[in-house]
Each structure stands twice: as structure tokens, then as C-alpha cells.
Amino acid sequence: MIKKTGSANWKGGLKDGDGTVSTQTGVLKEANYGFNSRFEGGTNTNPEELIAAAHASCFSMAFSMILGQHDLTPENVDTKATVHLEEVDGGFAITKIHLDMTASVPGADQSTFDEAANTAKENCPISKALGGVKAITLDAKMV
């Protein structure tokens, strides 16, 4: 079993407080996050963009793995995940995540490309962890 950790510290109230977030590897070390970056366009990080980055990277790796099962290797995979945070039933919820991927895969036909992309969307570990999200959508373009 593989275990990875992340940690967060928060000080103060919701709107006037601030926090830091760190990852086990130290790639993020006490990165600032707070209300402004989450709801008002501030410049620090926030939980939703961290989820977006995790989902985009997980999807890209899964797509590459699935292509490998077809003896294909992508030259490049660019994925952007857009997390939709909406007020629902008096609280906030992630209601949708849209994956927008463009990839160059020498030797791939459109059918294999599309099948690999959809399989990755459904089966990457982050997609599975986010199973409660009402919609995870995908636009995949082969270049």
C-alpha cells in the first residue's frame, strides 16, 4: 500500500484568517491559502485548484498508461482540469470537473485515442476518489 500525506494549518476566522498547506515531498511547503484565493480571486492557492492540479496530473498519467497497453507512447499530454464550486443547498459543493486534454500520440488512430481518454477519465484514482462529483466531463483532442 502506498501512502501519501498533505497537511494544512489554519489561523483565525473564515474571512480574516489564513493558512498554509504542505505536501509530503516538500514541493508545496507552507504555501499560503485563504478565503480571498478561494472566493474572491486572490493570488494564494486554494483547495479547488489543488484538486484540479491533482486530477489533471492523475488523468494524464492514466492516459499514458492506457496508451502503453496499446503499444503507444504519447509525445506530449496537456491537461487542464476546471473545478466548479457552487452554492448548493445552503453550502458549497464541487458539482462538476471538466478535463480538457490535448495530446500528440504518434501512431494512434482516433478510436484508440478516444477510448484511452475516456477510460482514463473514468478510472484514474482521482476520478474514482471524486466519485461524488455529479459530472466529470472531458474534451480530448488529438494533435
According to the model, what pLDDT value does residue 95 have?
A: 93
Burial class (CB in 10 A: 0-12, 13-18, 19+), 139: exposed
pLDDT for 67 equals: 98
Q: Which segments in the chain show pLDDT lower than 70?
A: none
Q: How much is the pLDDT for 41?
A: 83
In this prediction, residue 49 carries a pLDDT of 95
Are residues 34 and 42 in contact, defined by beta-carbon separation less than 8 angstroms?
yes
Q: Is 133 exposed, middle or buried (0-12, 13-18, 19+ CB in 10 A)?
A: middle
Q: What does the domain layout of the chain look like in residue ranges?
A: 6-39, 47-142
SS3 8: strand
CA separation (Å) from 98 to 10, 30, 55, 102, 143?
29, 28, 10, 13, 20
Q: Can you read off the three cell numbers belonging to residue 22?
A: 504542505
Q: How far apart are CA 100 and CA 119, in angstroms?
A: 15
User: What string of DSSP letters covers 77-111?
Assistant: EEEEEEEEEEEETTEEEEEEEEEEEEEE-TT--HH
CATH architecture of 47-142: 2-Layer Sandwich (3.30)
How far apart, in Å, are the Cα atoms of 86 and each of 14, 50, 90, 93? 17, 17, 10, 6
